[in-house]
Amino acid sequence: MTLNKEFTISHFEHSIEWVQSLTELTDKEWRRAIADGKWSTAEIIAHFVPWDEFILKARLKEFWNDRPLPQAPDVHKMNQQSAERARKEKKSETIVRFIAVRTELLQEMKKIEPSRWNEPFFIGQTKLTLFSYFQGLMEHDIHHMKQIKEALSPERE
């Protein structure tokens, strides 16, 4: 396995464990905005789900087929819909949905041949590799994880 694949797999495994640890939050902590005018932890975790589903169903099997990759859905609309859903469902439901789709995505990633992780493909005019594509997703995960950790820190109480 390439270092890039191992690194990516490790991050995605950690993200599942980290979200699982959020089951210990109180409902107040789960639903409190991370800052004024920002989403709650619930909304942040819920917004990962449709994006993981999009990657899983619309992109992962299409990376090297020499056809243009499907356009991403409307970011604002998809994020808004996931945030609204998070406000209505139980914490356990959001966490279970995240873990289910992230686990499925992880299983599919593990099946990809290591040599493929550095093969170029295009999204529009942008040349990427699987590693660089997932690196952007990992940075997005880490950004939100950091926000949540800071919002839950004792100094904020």
Percentage of the chain exceeding pLDDT 70: 96
Res. 3: pLDDT tops 80: no
Average pLDDT for 101-105: 97
Q: Which two tokens stand for residue 64?
A: 């090297």
Q: What is the mean pLDDT of residues 86-94?
A: 97
pTM score, whole prediction:
0.91
Domains detected in the chain: 3-156 (1.20.120.450)
